[in-house]
Amino acid sequence: MKILGLSGAVFHDASAALLVDGQLVAAAEEERFIRDKHAKGHFPYEAAKFCLQQAGLTPNDIDAIAFPFAPISLAGPARWHFAKRYWYAPDRALDALFNGNRHYRRNYKKAMQFFADLGFNPERTKFVPVEHHLSHASSAYHLSGFNEKTAILGLDGKGEYATSFFGYGENGKIHKLKEFYDPDSLGGIYGALTQYLGFEMLDGEFKVMGMAPYGDPTKYDLSRLIDYDDSGFRINTQYVNTVGLRRYKQNGRAYYFSPKLVEWLGPKREGDEIDEPYIHYAASLQQMLEKVSLRMVDHYLGDILKQTGKLCFAGGVALNVKLNQKLIARSDVKELFVQPAANDAGTSLGAATYVANELGDECQRQAHVYLGPEYTSDDCIAACEQHAEKPKWQKVDNQSETAAELLAAGNPVAWFQGRMEFGPRALGNRSILGDPSNKGIADRINAQIKYRERWRPFCPSMLDRVAAEILQTEHPAPYMTFTFPVAESWKARIPEVVHEDGTARAQVVSKDTNPRYYALIEALEKHTGNGVVLNTSLNRRGEPMVCSPTDALNMFYGSDLEYLIMEDILVTK
């Protein structure tokens, strides 16, 4: 079967993914093509066109379009819970009861327009809605490669009404054990405090996570924001996860927290510096997320974990690598698989895999995330010739060795090769690289290239043969979805990729999945003695990761980068 999955149902992170007979052959995010970060309000037209082109298919070849948003019955608990908890906003409460599938109808209308615009035949190609959290669950479970009974965790802001999913997978089937519903959302409370701490919701949560190690979680007690016990939690909507008149407003903008929160904690944070008391609020928030999440896992998934030790995790909160570190540390977790595109972009994968499984296909394990467009050296040369800056370029015989020499000399290098990554992490194909033993390289990249907060950490990509020594674990870590404590003997060797708390969000690189990147790190190892490179995404603050050679050149000339390698083309200033 040929299944095309689409995301964008919740009006951000639109993407498309294509499965052919259970094999994931292409996936890409709309933002990369239209150059609008998170593609808010967009449908994945360009991403879908790419997936079809990559597979050599036409719309008439597609058996089903899977969509991660479904109608929710009034007979279930979700809409009633929403109405009861939002009693203070009667218009919202009544709308949930009497017009509770309005968002689905709006999405369905957009999907039918998509059918018409791209030439799909509704009589040939089925449109199959899948519940949002089932899509998240499937994106992790069906692509994990786990054959045993597997615990499944899903945490995000919200989908239709659900905010959290606890269940398990067995023999290809997903079983739902428990859901929590809006406004009781762990992703929601983290997002609300993200806004209060001066960042954008849906984009700045990882900045809060990066800020947390600078603070002391015991300095401020945020427990009044949430009540929880072994079996559940309840958000205090007097402070956060608010709607309507309860929302705090500033300069004509309404936030997801209330004036009461500001009265309690002080003014909303502004600016780029990490300062008190905000670093302590971030630390307390992170600790709260970990405590509540782990307690819910104990209650709902503990018995399953004791059987096999396998856990899958997806949803925006699954990108919280500090929480993932705590999950791996559990004695009952033998292996954790986090969908690398765990945010809503990954629901295109999840919807497609769920429908494929329902139609009888056996979904294959996700082997890598290099699922986007790729370009030849001739494409890169053509982009140089057409670019307004008239780049100076030359062909190089060994791009990995060339890059390693530049890195060892203390230079950041933009590195563009192969198929673009799917998901929010640059994993060696659209990256800015540095030598992590070179003191000050991280500050230079932050200040002169990325133009982002100077306290933000960078991540290491490391050879698989040295990873266990550095990270002190054999746990798989190919996608930068976990942090690990760095061995004391390595902290001084690679200081630029060790965070404030002594951990690193690592990518373990294998020769099988990315031979050219592996060769680069090996070449750098010959110069420095360390099989590790600093790796961050090839973009500037507020921009999507680059997709094409032209995007790379635009980013290159919009920063202080001096070296860009695209396939076997070296561009210099």
Please list the active-site residues: 12
Residue-wise DSSP of 40-77: TT---HHHHHHHHHHHT--GGG--EEEES-----TTSS
Residue 354 · residue 130 · CB < 8 Å: yes
* Phi, psi torsion values for 508, nearest 5 degrees: -95, 120
Tokens of 7: 């995301």
Distances (CA, A) of 525 to 340, 519, 568: 27, 10, 21
> What residue type is assigned to position 158 of the chain?
K
Residue 153 · residue 165 · CB < 8 Å: yes
Any idea of the CA torsion for 29, 32, 38, 43, to the nearest 10 degrees?
-60
DSSP 318: G
> How many Cβ atoms are within 10 Å of 121's Cβ, its own excluded?
10
**How far is residue 225's CA from residue 204's CA, in Å, rounded to a whole number?**
20
Closest CA to 136 of 305, 10, 313: 313
Residue-wise DSSP of 374-433: ---HHHHHHHHHHSTT--EEEE-S-HHHHHHHHHHTT--EEEE-SSPBSSS---SSEEEE
**How far is residue 479's CA from residue 482's CA, in Å, rounded to a whole number?**
8
Q: Classify residue 492 by burial, with Cβ atoms within 10 Å: 0-12, 13-18, 19+.
A: exposed
Tokens of 81: 């819970």
